[in-house]
A = this chain, B = another copy of it.
Amino acid sequence: MADDARVAFGALEIPRPYLLFLGDMTDPLDQKTAAGIHEWRPEWCVGQYRLTPETNSLGLVDMDPEQAVRAGAQTMVIGTATFGGRLPDAWEDIVIRALQAGLNVASGLHDRLSMRPRLAKVAAETGRKLYDVRGLPSGFNPQVGSGHPRTGNRLLTVGTDCAVGKKFTALSIERDMRARGINATFRATGQTGILISGGGVAIDSVVSDFLAGVVELLSPDNQADHWDVIEGQGSLFHPAYAAVSLGLLHGSQPDAFVVCHEAGRQEVLGYPDFAIPRLEECIELTVALGRRVNPAIRCAGISLNTASLSESARTDALAEIEQQIGLPCVDPAINGTGAIIANLGL
């Protein structure tokens, strides 16, 4: 089990650096995973592989798998979102070309590379590996949660909705903690975060009975001054995903949490009948549920995504929330997260 956990959650990292495969996607939104890796880990990216001249560019050097191997790449990452998370059949040949060139191939699609017989066969023949970062490794035997307190410290990003900046905030806090000399580790809970950090588990694909237990394994005992910064998922107020958020909260046993919110969002994305909760409600419910596993849980601040606001509107929005909630409120992309870290007493 301990070995399983190491394999699943990070000690066996995906070999780097990466060649980012961008497919034939012309819309940057369809390259979200690749863009996230490039933004957060530019030093891991030796180049990009575009199928057509019209494909959106991330500004990296264009190269094919053979050129990438010569440039030192170890793994080709499929950095695109496709309809329904499917691997287009035509891309099977591209994956095979990468394997034969000497690259491992990693993917965050629902559709698993390792389940495609042709790909599994070529991977075995070439001695390369296929990394399906969504789903638990085959043969991994999950366990149910224990509820036992763990050593070290944990911060979880929670949200008023999906897609409000929980991953961005957690990565920002890890970066800013490290810049202050704090021993911190980002813990990924979704496929893009896993590819950015080289470890973690896509908790949306864990069977519900094992959810809290898997999160416990993701954030094990650590040194007394260490902080795990755990990527949140969904929202406790989400009509489809609240269970995921609660399993993550209970398994994390966070000492502190940061509420992530997008300025101006009124309704749950895709669920127009569900209003976004007030920040106070979100704090109150997170504390009420989280104290079951960590009585000391507290809110450390608010992370506001202000991308849609003008500069003056942003300044007003941040000040207004600080006033209203009595906690630091920052846009990590503008202000960094120093005010939140300071509020942890660090």
Interface set of A (CB-CB < 8 Å, partner B): 144-148, 203-209, 211-213, 236-237, 239-244, 246-247, 250, 271, 273-274, 285, 288-289, 292-293
Contact = CB atoms under 8 A, between A and B. Distances in A.
A288 B213 CA distance: 25
Question: How many copies make up the complex?
Answer: 2
Of A145, A148, A243, chain B has the most CB atoms within 10 Å of the CB of A243
A212 B206 CA distance: 14
Contact of A204 (B204, B208, B271, B289): B208
24 contacts: A144-B241, A146-B271, A147-B240, A147-B273, A148-B273, A204-B207, A204-B208, A205-B207, A205-B208, A205-B209, A206-B208, A207-B207, A207-B208, A208-B211, A208-B243, A208-B244, A209-B244, A212-B239, A212-B241, A212-B242, A237-B292, A242-B246, A243-B243, A274-B292
A240 B211 CA distance: 8
Given A204-B207, A204-B208, A147 B246 contact: no
A250 B244 contact: no
Contact of A247 (B212, B242, B274): B242
Contacts of A237: 292
Contacts of A244: 208-209, 211, 243
Nearest to A206: B208
Given A147-B239, A204-B209, A288-B288, 14 more contacts: A145-B240, A146-B239, A148-B273, A205-B208, A205-B209, A208-B208, A209-B244, A212-B241, A236-B289, A237-B292, A240-B250, A242-B246, A242-B250, A243-B246
B243 A212 contact: yes
A213 B242 contact: no
Contacts of A213: 240
A239 B213 CA distance: 9
A240 B146 contact: yes
Contacts of A148: 273
A252 to B, nearest CB: 12
